[in-house]
Amino acid sequence: MKRTVVIASLLILAMNLPSSSAPAAECKSIAQITSDIWKKWAAVGAALGCQALAAEGDISANVCANSSKYPEAVNQMLAFYNQEVNNNWAEIGPRKIEFGTSQEGDVIGPGERVFISPAPVNKDSVTIKIKKLDGRARTSVVICKITQNNIPTKLAEFEFAEGDGNAGEEITKTVSGVRNQLVQVHLHAETVSRRLHYSLRADKN
């Protein structure tokens, strides 16, 4: 009887202990993919005549970004992105950020979902809006920029708490200094066997 009481007390104590703090969220390393994007961006810029490259293989971050040919360059990058997703990149690789459009998805813990701009951004700031539509997974979100040398910089981070009491919560972050950079949004669901159903919208400012 005494042993039963001790075990029950320990179980109650464990249930009331504060949950461990979430690990520090970081930018997601997808160096091969971002390398491919930067190389294609340089090739597209050279083909369109936006800017001469200083030397063969030299990738200039602002190729086409400040040119009237930017929309055409982005269209070519979108075609390239879709082709690589279907052929060379991982089956469940990063999703492209579709600026000005709401994108929905699920992430199941422990798991992650990465969004990446298919071309360098031509504006200085971007607003990211993520809404928790359903689910119970505690999920961290990190917004990063990635240079032409594949160096990531964390610009903002936030978290959706575990549980379903916060369904409908919407968090908006505006980050700056992203002109001529790739933008990445990394969602990491940390609760085992729980999911987050979300919507994401990105707008260039």
Give the tens place of pLDDT for each residue, 88-130: 676 557 899 999 999 999 999 999 999 999 999 999 999 999 9
pLDDT at residue number 173: 98
Q: Residue 20 pLDDT more than 50?
A: no
Q: Minimal CA–CA distance to 24: which of 157, 204, 205?
A: 157
Give kind and range of the element (H or E) at residue 79. helix 70-87
Give the domain ranges of the chain.
23-204
- Superfamily designation of domain 23-204: Mitogen Ypm (2.60.120.510)
Single-letter amino acid code for the residue at 151: I
Please state, in angstroms and rounded to a whole number, the distance separating the CA atoms of residues 167 and 8: 33
Q: Residue 11 burial by CB count (10 A; 0-12/13-18/19+): exposed, middle or buried?
A: exposed
Please state, for a pLDDT cut of 70, what percent of the chain lies above it. 79
Please state, in angstroms and rounded to a whole number, the distance separating the CA atoms of residues 129 and 149: 27
> Of the given ranges (52-66, 70-84, 183-197), which has the lowest mean pLDDT?
52-66
Separation in Å, CA 66 to CA 22, 62, 71, 75: 40, 7, 10, 15
Please state, in angstroms and rounded to a whole number, the distance separating the CA atoms of residues 193 and 15: 19
- Position with higher pLDDT, 66 vs 97: 97
Per-residue pLDDT, averaged over 17-42, amounts to: 74
